[in-house]
Every structure is written in C-alpha cells, then in structure tokens.
A and B are shown apart, each in its own frame.
Chain A
Amino acid sequence: MTVERLTQPVLITLALVALAVFALISGLDPVLLGASIIIAAQPLLLAAIGEMVVEKSGVLNLGVEGMMIIGAIAGFAFAVESGSPWVGFLGAALAGAALALVFGVLTQVLLSNQVATGLALTLFGLGLAALIGQPYSGLKPPAFGSLDIPGLSDLPVVGPLFLSHDAVVYFALGLVIAVWLFLGRSRPGMILRAVGENHAAAHALGYNVIAIRLAAIAFGGACAGLGGAYLSLVRVPQWNEGMTAGAGWIALAIVVFGAWKPWRVMLGAYLFGGVTILQLNLQAANLTPLWLLAFGLFLFAIWRTLTSRAGPIELLLLWLGTIALGTWSAAYPISIQAQYLSMTPYLVTIIVLVVMSADRLRANQNAPASLGQVFHKSG
C-alpha cells in the first residue's frame, strides 16, 4: 500500500510527461493541447464533483444531463438578459439546484425510486430547456474573458497552461479543494458521509437524513448547472437544443472512475476531456489512432513496472508489445472508421472501472454503502 501511495503522484507526473513527449513527437503542441483539455474538462469536472457529493450522501441522481442542460439555458438566458456572464453562472446554479430539488422532493419526501426519477428528470430537463431556449437560439452571449494576470500569463508554457484561464476554471479547482476539505476534514462532511454509509444509524444518532440529503442534492444540481452554463457561455459559446449531448452521463461515469474521491474525480474529468480532445487532435494531425493505443499500452507498462506487481515475463511481454505496436503504427498507418475512435473514451472508462473495482477492498472503501436506497424513518 505504501509503495502505491508513493508511486501515485510519480505515476501521474510520468504519465503527463509521457503525454507531452508523445504530443511533441506527433507534431502537436502540448501546451495548447493542455489548455484545450482544461476547457473541455470543466463541464465534466463541475458536474461530476457535484454528483460525487450527492452520491456520498447516499443518493444516486441519474438526472445530471437534465440539470446540466437546464444550467446551460438558464446561464445563457440570464447572461444575455443581464449582459453579465457572472449573473448567468449564478442563475445557472440556482436553476440547476431548483430542478435538482424536484428530484429531491420526489425521492426523499415522496420516496420514489431514484433511478426512474433521475431518468425522468433528464427527460423533463431536456424538454424544459428546449422550451425556454426557443427565443435564445441564434444569440451571442456576453464574452467571458480569461483572467489574464499581467506578466505572469505571458510566461512560456506555465502562462497559457495554468495562468490564463477564465475564472470558472479556478473556481472549479477551489471547489475540488473545498469538497475535499469538507468531506475529509470537517464535521458536517463526516455527517454527510455517515448519512451515505448508513442512514438508519445516522437517523438514530439524531441527524436529519432527509434535510442533509436535500442539501446535497441541491448542491449537486447547482454544480451541474454551472457545468452546463460553462458549455453555453464559454466552451461553445451559444445556445443550442440538446447541446450537452451526453456530458451528464459521462459525469456519472467519472464519479465512479474517481472512486468517490475529489482529486481522482478531477483526474477523471481531465482524462475524459483529454481523450476527447486528443482523439480530434490526432485526426487533425493526421495520425492513426493506433498511436493512442500504443501510448496507452506504454503507460500501462510503466504502471506495471513501477508497482512491481507483475512478473518479469509479463513485463517483458508488455514492453515488447508496446514497442511492436508503436513500430507497427509508425510503419503502417491504417485508417479506422471514425466511430471506432469515438468509442475509446467509453471503453477506457470500462477498463478503468474494472481495474479499479477488481481490487475489492479499495473500491468498497469509498463507495457509499446506502447508495440509491430509499430511506424512511420507519425503516
């Protein structure tokens, strides 16, 4: 365990360095790539960190997509009407929380099934957003500039990568830290986790399970709303019906991918954003996706080597395989239908999910035990 703890940051750093080297030899600019990935990851990160808190309180809300799209239109509408993107983000958070509370009341007070209610929430949210959004298609939102710090933002590499983003990027980072501190270090956070672990026991201790869960659900909705608004105000920026295009579902996957830990959720959001962006960039740079596969194998080989769990034969095979695949993809660039490329993020999630869950002890440590179960005082 201790070896793993030590190697984790080392591994991530190594992976990043490897990614940068890979990008460089492929003719991609790692700095620009990094900046794009950060933007692509924001909606996912915001929605996922919110959903993580919800799930930590023992509630599974599958309506993330619906809350995101409501946030996207509410943010857009408030920003256009007020002329200020800040008002837009605020409005998006409120709208997301309001919609989430519909789910909250249904599942917590009226004890409806969470899976079905979450799906209905998505259906309702998509429709409502489209309805509200009709007068807003074709408009331009007020610009939401990046926070350029004079002098610092112009630094090479560090500047464009870390110091010239918009306020939401820093806010999201702050949110991750805040959630991390809240869940791990604060008393209310412990109570929230207790509610998620065993609601009957938490209730017996005198905590108001329903109120705590409602608060978590509203927080999750607000975060999803912000994530949606980031799409319509920054990443695209415009309003289109159905513009979230499945991002809410990915956010749900990221929570599990991140094993309900804030930093891992953040890593997951960046990985997802990264695969999406990389996939497009590889095409633009005219590279075959086999490269990506070879690269993945390369990272896996490093991981197996460093965690020193694998036998020498496995390591030898892994490294030989990596080299062979790398050489092959360099020598015979073959084209693959775009659809297979688009599958990669989903397949990667499944693989990561499996690798992570395979270690039963570690996976179960963090999964909230009462996730998705109906709570009623009479038991």
Chain B
Amino acid sequence: MKFVKTLAAVAALALAGPALSDGHEPMKVGFIYVGPVGDFGWSYEHDQGRKAIEEAFGDKVETTYLESVPEGPDAERAIRQLAQSGHDLIFTTSFGYMNPTLKVAEQFPDVKFEHATGFKRADNVSVYSGRFYEGRTVLGHIAGHMTETNTIGYIASFPIPEVVRGINSAYLAAKAVNPDVSFKIVWVNTWFDPAKEADAANALIEQGADVIMQHTDSPAAMTIAEEKGIYAFGQASDMKQFGPNARLSSIIDNWGPYYVARTQAVMDGTWESTDTWDGIKPGLTEIGEFSDKIPAEVQASAQAIIDGIVDGSIHSFTGPIKKQDGSDWLAEGERADDGTLLGMNFYVEGIEGELPN
C-alpha cells in the first residue's frame, strides 16, 4: 500500500516536472540520519524517502547519506561536509540537528536545508514533520475496540510534546469507543533499546495489557506481542514481518512524496523556506493496511475516521476535553490550535499516573 502510494506520487511528479536533463551536473541531495538505515523504524523510513527521490529523478539527482550521526558535537561537521561537497539540498532528519543545521545554513546561504521535527527556520532552512497524532487517533480507536482486558499498554520514549500528544490522542480515541479503557504507560527514556523495549512490553502484558502501542523506534515490542499472542501496532515503519499475527495496523512515516516535491522545487528554482506539518491528508502520515483480525465494522469505522481527518470533519482534539487535573481545556466543539499542540505538556482527563516532567 505504501509503495503503491509512493510510486503513484513519484510518477505524477516525474510526469509533471519539466525535463531537466540537458547536460547539467546532477543535482546533489544529502541526508543525515540519526540511526543506521537498517533500524526498521525512523531512519529506515527516511532512507525510503531518499530512494523515492532516486527513483523519481533517476540520473538527474545524486543522493548521499551519512548514517548513525550522533546528535552531539559531530552533527555540525557532518552537515557541513555535505554542504561543502556541493550538495544543493540537505535533509537533516532528527530533532537534535536543529541548531547545527541553522549554524551551517548561515555559512552556506546558497544551499537549501530541510530539518525534520524542529521549530527554527531561516531563509534557507525549512522545517517539516508529520502530524503523527492523527494516526494515533485511528490506532487508538482500533485499540479501544480490540482490547478485551480494557487495558492498553503504551511504551513511551521521552516526555516531549510529540509523545505526549500521541498518548493523549490515542487515549481520547480509545475512550470514545470504550469508556472502561485504561492506559498503562511506561517511559523507557530511550528512542532505541530493543532489550528495554521488550522488557517494557512484557511488563505491560503482565499488567494485563492485551494491546500495545509504542512511541519508540525498534520492532522489539511487536516481536514480543507476537510471541505472547496479543496485539500491537507498527511505529514509523510497518513492522509486519515482526508480528504477522500481532500487528493490527501501523503508523508509517511516508516521507517520499515530500522529499520528491522539495527536490523538484530546488530544480525548478521555486524552493522557499516553509513550515510543513502534514498529517494523513497529504499522505505524510500513513495508516498501514488493516489486519483481518480487526472486525469488518471496526475496519469501517476506523476508515471513517481516516476519511473524516482527510476531509477535515474530524480533528483529533475536539472539545469538550479537560486536562488531567480536571481543569477545562477545550470547550464543546472547540479544536486545539497548533500552538498548544506543539507545546503539549499535560495529560488529558482520565489518564492515570503523572506525566514525568
């Protein structure tokens, strides 16, 4: 499903774009990844996006990547080396690259930079991210239906707004279809530690969870869910091969179309610094195929939510919603504004436990 979509987008763009191959040097596009390309999660999906560029433009582009670049002092050099070696467009694909990207961008005004998940821009630095919480609304809906113990386990990485947003939207969606549902949340304090994620999954299962959601990058929890015969969702990547029976659906970060579009913009000379926060509608956040374990009517209602998000009739955070402490947040029918969502640091009413802060 994902590939079909990507290919379609790619083909459309390739046809639409003007022919460029008139003896120019190929355009050089560089990528900085925080993990190895084989992590089957975050960096893997960005690399799929890179491949989409190669597929779309063939020998008109030349792509390069640096993998496993730590977010510390080495990041700036890595980015700069790409800029210096004649890359025209550079994607820095982790939050921690934000300030290094801006520093390098200042020194290379002619190079275009794209930074994922950050919030600082410049004339030659765009930011982009996915509204993954929209996907979690869909997954939360499915999870609320599928749980028999009314307990959903959630493996969370760090208490940053992105993750808190995901927990809240999943909880609201699950609660809406199953008033008795409760979330058990474990903070593992890492994005990637398969053994710890597996242990966390086990702990949650022992606490009665029969559906696991995760906001960490490795497929370990999926593997455990498969072994224990419960359900889980793919995160960042589809992860089907790790849990053919356990996987209900997934949130897929589908960067390909965005990457292709931005490359095209640089080729056309129409590139501008933008702030992109795309969800399900533009296809940046993609919901993986539904498993046939999900009853048909739930599949239909989940699809209805997807359609609703696409046509704008549904928003993940629509009032009335109270905060965990009982204070009002959103009035009846009110929708959360992006500013609040971007800085979200509270649980919504009904989630047990305190947000570590």
Q: Do chains A and B touch in the complex (CB under 8 A)?
A: yes
Alpha-carbon gap, A40 to B357, bound state (A): 28
Give the segment of A108-116, A236-244, A369-377 that binds chain B.
A236-244
Which residue of A139, A244, A247, A335 contacts B356 across the interface (Cβ within 8 Å)? A335
A283 touches B219 (CB 8 A): no
Given contacts A238-B219, A335-B357, contact A140 B206 (CB under 8 A): no
Instruction: Kindly identify which residue among B38, B195, B207, B354 contacts A235, using a CB–CB cutoff of 8 Å.
Output: B195
Is B213 in contact with chain A by the CB < 8 A criterion?
no
Closest partner residue, chain B, to A27 (CB atom): B207
Give bound CA distance, A238 to B39, whole Å.
11
Q: Please name all residues of chain A whose beta carbon is closer than 8 Å to the beta carbon of B68 when the two chains form the complex.
A: 241
Residues on A with beta carbons closer than 8 Å to the beta carbon of B204: 284
A4 within 8 A of B: no
Chain B residues within CB distance 8 Å of chain A: 35-36, 38-40, 68, 153, 159, 184-190, 192-196, 198-200, 202-204, 206-207, 209, 218-220, 223-224, 227, 241-242, 352-357
Q: Hey, which chain B residues are within 8 Å of A28, CB to CB?
A: 206-207
Closest CB-CB distance, B238 to chain A, in whole Å?
11
| A122 CB to nearest chain B CB (Å) | 16
Does A281 lie within 8 Å of B203, measured CB to CB?
yes
A280 at the B interface (CB under 8 A): yes
A139, A238, A242, A335: residue with the most chain B Cβ atoms closer than 10 Å: A238
28 contacts between A and B (CB under 8 A): A28-B206, A28-B207, A36-B203, A134-B38, A235-B195, A236-B220, A237-B223, A237-B227, A240-B192, A241-B39, A243-B195, A247-B195, A280-B186, A280-B196, A280-B200, A281-B207, A283-B185, A283-B187, A284-B185, A284-B186, A284-B203, A286-B353, A335-B353, A336-B356, A338-B187, A338-B189, A338-B356, A342-B189
Residues of A within 8 A of B38 (CB): 133-134, 137-138, 241
Nearest CB in chain A: distance from B241 CB, A: 6
Tell me the complex Cα distance, A55–B352, Å. Answer: 47
CA distance A284 to B218 in the complex (A): 19
Assess whether A167 is interfacial by the CB under 8 Å rule.
no
Question: How far apart sit A245 and B218, CA to CA, in the bound complex (Å)?
Answer: 13
The CA-CA distance from A277 to B198 in the complex, in Å, is 10
Quote the shortest CB–CB distance from B305 to chain A (angstroms): 28
Residues from chain A with Cβ under 8 Å of B196 in the complex: 245, 276, 280
| Pairs A-B, 4 closest by C-beta atoms | A335-B354, A137-B38, A338-B187, A280-B203
